[in-house]
Structure formats: C-alpha cells, structure tokens
Amino acid sequence: MAAELKIVLQRVLIPVVMALVVGGIILLALGKDPLDYYGIVLQRSLLRSGGAQETVTRMAPLLLIAAGLIVAFRAGIWNLGGDGQFLLAAVASAALAPVLAADLPRALNLAVCMIVGALVGALWSVIPALLKARYGVNEIITTLMMSFLGTSLANVLIKLVLRDPDTTVPQTRSLGVDDRLPRLFGTTIHSGLVLAILAVILVHFMMTRTAFGLKLQVLGANRAAAVHAGLRVERLTIIAFALSAGFIGLAGAVEVLGVWGSVRADWNPALGLLVVPLVFLARFNGYAVIGITLFFSALTVGGESAARRVGVPQHYVLVLVALLLLFLALVEYRDQSRRKPSAAAT
C-alpha cells in the first residue's frame, strides 16, 4: 500500500508540481503573481463550496466521454468524433425534453431523453463503424469528418428547425428547472454525476472482468489474433463503436438535462478531443480516470475565476493543461524506461 502510494505521488504529484512551476514562471514573466493565481484557483475550485460544486458538476460529461473513449480505445478504435456525437445528442434531448415534459412524469421524461441522447450518439457512429468493420476505412478520418458534419448539423437544426421563437439568440426551447435532472442534497450538483461515475466503474468492470471486455481487448491489441481466435470482429467493432458513441451521446444529454436546459446555436464545449489525453494518461483505468478528471475539472473551474481576478485571459488555463499533459507523459516515459531493464532480465 505504501509502495502504491509512492508510485501515485511520483506519477501524479511530480508532474503537477512541475506544470505549476513552469506555468508560474510564465505568469511571472507577464508580471503577474503566480501564487495569487494558484491561490484563487484552489480556493475557487475546491475550497469554496460553490466552486467545489461547480468542479464536481463539470466532471459529469468528462467522465461519460471518458467511459466512451475507454471502450473504443481498448478495442483499438480511434473514435475522435466525440464532439459531433456529443452535440447532436445534446440537441436531440434538448428538443425532446420540453415537449415530453408536458405529458410524462419527470423521471420517465429524463430517462427517455437520456436514452434518446445515447441512441443519437451511437447512430452518428454507424457510418464510421460500418466503413471500418466492412472495408477497413481508417476511422480517424471518418470520425473527424462526421464530427464536423455533426457540429454543423446541430447548428442547422437549432437555427432552422428547433429554434425557440421567443428568444433573440437562436436556441432550443428551454427545459424548466424543475424538469431537469434532480440536484443532489441541496447542492448545485445534479444526479447526472452519479450516473457518470457509475458508467466509468461499469466500463472498468466490463473491460477487466467480463468475457465481452476481454474480447474487445483482444481485438484492440491484435486484430489478427481476434480473427484467429474466432471472434466476430465486424460485430465487435460495430458494438464497440456504438457503446463508445452512446456514452458520449449520453454525456451530451446529461449536460443539457442537468445544467443548461437548452442548446444555443454555435455552442460547442469541444470536450471530445480534450478527454482523449486524459484517458491515455489514466492508462484506460476507470479509477484513475476519475482522479484525473477531478483535477482537470478543478483546474478549469478555478482557472476561469482566477484569470478574471489576476488579469490574464481565461484561456491561460489551457497552457497549464498542456504543461500538465506534457509532464505527465514525460514522467510516465521515465517510469517505463526505468522498468524496462529489469523486465528484460526476467
């Protein structure tokens, strides 16, 4: 246990400190006080209850996307089209929820909308999935293009079809606050977070403890071996794609049903690509994903308020995120190259 703790400290704490130090030097160079900035980040993201709630709330979509990416990446599928899947699902559930709210009880409405979101996400992966499974067309190209298409299509739908006539800015009709995902224990955290954590744990369990998960892993590690072992490679590819995009779609639905209540035109949080490195650095481990996501979320929430206070642009936090990714990757590299000689000796 002590050894594990040490590894965690080395792998996480060292890169975090290095990223903060380098980021601090940049702030100093701009004539800002880094301690001031970091102090506000910490206070606003974790120490103040409002900020902490915001931090935790923001984890929900990140976790659901991460769950989807773990499934895909483990199966050797590069689903980089998360943004399109996310937005279309968000628009679909935003369009449906206010309409159904009139007729269905809240719980049923939310369940239906989330399922629809997941289905829409999955649907948007069908073409890349079929092209990959049948003809081996590289899915990086197809998912990226479907993502661009989906993002534009979401805007078209909002502007031309689903537009709420009562607003000046094009957006969908808003779902009443009382019809949204219930909040937890009187906080601003909505219950989608519970769903997201469950999803990540479920995926982790599926990948490590079930025959289906192992089949996906065989497919991802060695496609020829999957064929040799008699796995239904085409079917597995399509299912993995659908699951992956389904979770990402669910993330879109949860974000709308839990936080926003509607989708504005040109809204795109662009989380699809951002979560990719987080999942890698967690080595596809569900629990590690939860930890990394918490940190990432705190950094973005705190960074936004701190930026305003200290007088740097909001996007400065992206520099920190990039530094963190670089140092995490570097530390992992150093770990691996250290372990290699001993492994070779066995």
Partner 1 sequence: MINATQAVQSTEAPRGFPIPVAALRRITKRFPGVVALDRVSLEFHAGEIHVLLGENGAGKSTLVSLLAGMQEPDEGEILIDGLPVSIDSPRHSMDLGIGAVFQRVSLVPSLTVIENLMLGGSWLRSLARGAALRRFDELSALLATRIDPDAPMSGLSLGEQQQVEIMRALWRDEKLLLLDEPTSMLTPQGVADLGRMMHRLKEKGVALILVTHKLLEAYEFGDRISVLRLGTVAGDIAPQRLQTMSEAERTETVIGLMFGAADPGAVPAQDHEDELAILLGGKLRRAGSVDRSKPAKLSARALVTMPDFAETPLHAVSFELWAGEVLGIAGVDGNGQKHLAEVLAGQRSLRQGRLELAGFDITRGRVPERRLRGIRYVTDDRLGEGTVGTFSVATNLVLKEIGASPFWRHGISDWPLIYQSAREQILRNDIRTPSELTPVGKLSGGNVQKVLLARELDAEANVAILNKPTYGLDLHNQRLALDRIVAAAARGVAVIVISTDLDELLEISDRVGVMFRGSLAGIVENDAAAGSKVRRLMTGSAAA
Partner 2 sequence: MRALFTEPFLVSLLFGAVTAGLPLLLAGLGEQISEKAGVLNIGLEGMMLIGAYTGFLATYRTGSFWFGFLAGGVGGMSAALIVLLLCIRKGLNQIVIGIAITVGAEGLTSLLHFVQFSRSYPRLAAAPIFAVPAFSRIPVLGRGLFSHNPLVYLSWALVGLLTWVFRSTYLGLSLEAAGNKPAALDAAGVDVVRTRSFAVLCTGFLAGLGGAYMANVGAGLFVPFMTGGAGVIGIVLAMLARGRPLWVLIGAALFGASLAMTTALQVAGIDVPTDVVQMLPFAVVMLVLVIFARHSMLPSALGTPYVRGGR
- In sequence order, the β-bridge partners of residue 139 are none
56 binds, among partner 1, partner 2, none (CB under 5 to 8 A by kind): none
Residue 322 binds to partner 2 (criterion: CB under 8 A): yes
The set of residues, in sequence order, having a beta carbon less than 8 Å from that of 300 and lying 6+ positions away, is 58, 317, 321
Report d(CA 331, CA 341) in Å as an integer.
17
**Cα angle at 97 between 264 and 156, to 5 degrees?**
35
Q: What Å distances lie between residue 143 and 77, 235, 273, CA to CA?
A: 10, 18, 11
Closest by CA position to 309, among listed 11, 118, 41: 41
Q: Of the ranges 102-110, 162-170, 226-234, 253-261, which one interacts with partner 1 (CB under 8 A)?
A: 226-234
The 8 Å CB, 24+ separation contacts for 232-239 are: 233/133, 234/133, 234/134, 235/133, 236/75, 237/75, 237/77, 237/129, 237/132, 237/133, 238/126, 238/129, 238/130, 238/133
152 binds, among partner 2, partner 1, none (CB under 5 to 8 A by kind): partner 2
3-state class of 227 per DSSP?
helix
One symbol per residue from 159 to 178: x for binding partner 2 (CB under 8 A), - otherwise; what is it?
A: xx------------------
Residue 7 binds to partner 1 (criterion: CB under 8 A): no
Is the Cα dihedral 46, 269, 15, 197 positive or negative? positive
Residue 221 binds to partner 1 (criterion: CB under 8 A): yes
Interface with partner 1 (CB under 8 A), residue from 1, 103, 178, 346: 346
Nearest distance, CB of residue 215 and partner 1, angstroms: 6
First to last CA, the chain: 24
Interface with partner 2 (CB under 8 A), residue from 116, 253, 290, 317: 317
Report d(CA 165, CA 170) in Å as an integer.
8
Residue 337 binds to partner 1 (criterion: CB under 8 A): no
Number of residues that bind partner 1 (CB under 8 A): 24
231 binds, among partner 1, partner 2, none (CB under 5 to 8 A by kind): partner 1
Interface with partner 1 (CB under 8 A), residue from 202, 225, 273, 330: 225
Which lies closer to partner 1 via its Cβ, residue 315 or residue 339? 339
Which lies closer to partner 1 via its Cβ, residue 29 or residue 343? 343
Which lies closer to partner 2 via its Cβ, residue 126 or residue 259? 126
One symbol per residue from 179 to 218: x for binding partner 1 (CB under 8 A), - otherwise; what is it?
A: -----------------------------xxxxx-xx-xx
Is the Cα dihedral 206, 290, 138, 84 positive or negative? positive
Side chain identity at residue 263, one-letter code: V
Footprint on this chain of partner 2 (rule: CB under 8 A):
26, 30, 127, 131, 134-138, 140-142, 144-146, 148-149, 152-153, 155-156, 159-160, 273-274, 276-277, 280-281, 312-323, 325-326, 329-330, 333
